[in-house]
Amino acid sequence: MANHLETISKTVIFDGLPEQQLKQIESIAISKNFAKDETIFLEQDEGNGFYLVADGLVKIFKVSPSGKEQILHIFGPLEPFGEVPVFSGREFPANAQAIKTSRVLFFPRPAFLALISAHPSLALNMLAVLAMRLRQFTYQIENLSLKEVPARLAAYLLYLATEQEREDFVTLDISKGQLASLLGTIPETLSRILTRMHKQGLIETRDRAIRFLDRAGLESLAIDGKKNELP
């Protein structure tokens, strides 16, 4: 992903635009590099533009006063982030940090808004992106509030399998500590639950590789949320 134009042209936001306009978009993009663990922005920062991952991996997260972290999103290549302040004004609602060495493209707000006025289909693309985000947050709130950690983990593993187009085997792309934070728990709890799921014959793990031994079991665990049910 060395070429900016190529990255831009493959991104949902800029989908369907003629080459002429893609070049125009490229001209307003600013490429920035971030080392692993480097902060991209903080939640109190004024958001005067949004970003697009060109290469690497970026997490969007909140931190409690006591230091517990909740990851909201993890974005990889071609995914935009930090759009909220572009349209609602004010600061970023959360923090962004590179979890791998990353290269991102930055689109300054004024130039991007001008582009939107010139090319209204950009607005519809962006609306689709924000709507998808809302849908995803809806699931996340449902998971946090209505499901227990094992169910959230099962749902995530099944999602990862879809993502990786595998039937019964996934490879975590993030550390278990980060996965805990994404699931709204802590590493100790995640570790214990992985052990328990192994003992229950659901999965088999070796480092970041996880094999599903009982996909149906995982699916019902993911859906049930809590193990009550049935009269």
Q: Which residues of 173-209 are buried (b: 16+ CB within 10 A; e: fewer)?
A: bbeeebbbbbbbbeeeebeebbeebeeeebbeeeeee
Q: Which spans of this chain sit near a copy of itself (rule: CB under 8 A)?
A: 62-66, 68, 70, 72, 83-88, 90, 93-94, 116-117, 120, 123-124, 126-128, 130-135, 137-142, 144-147, 184, 223-226, 228-229
CA angle 88, 94, 98 (to 5 degrees): 120
- Give 217's contacts (C-beta < 8 A, 6+ positions apart): 200, 201, 202
Does 191 participate in binding DNA (rule CB under 7 A)?
A: yes
Rounded-to-integer distance, Cα 195 and Cα 5, Å: 46
Residue 189, interface with DNA (CB under 7 A)?
yes
- Binding map of DNA across residues 165-184, x = CB under 7 A, - = no contact: ----------xxx------x
Query: Residue 148 touches which of a copy of itself, DNA, none (CB < 5 to 8 A by kind)?
Result: DNA
CB of 125 to DNA, least distance (A): 36
Least separation, in Å, of the C-beta of 104 and a copy of itself? 19
Q: Of 94 and 210, which has the nearer Cβ to a copy of itself?
A: 94
CA distances from 181 to 83, 123, 188 (A): 22, 32, 11
Q: Which of 19, 27, 228, 231 binds DNA (CB under 7 A)?
A: 228
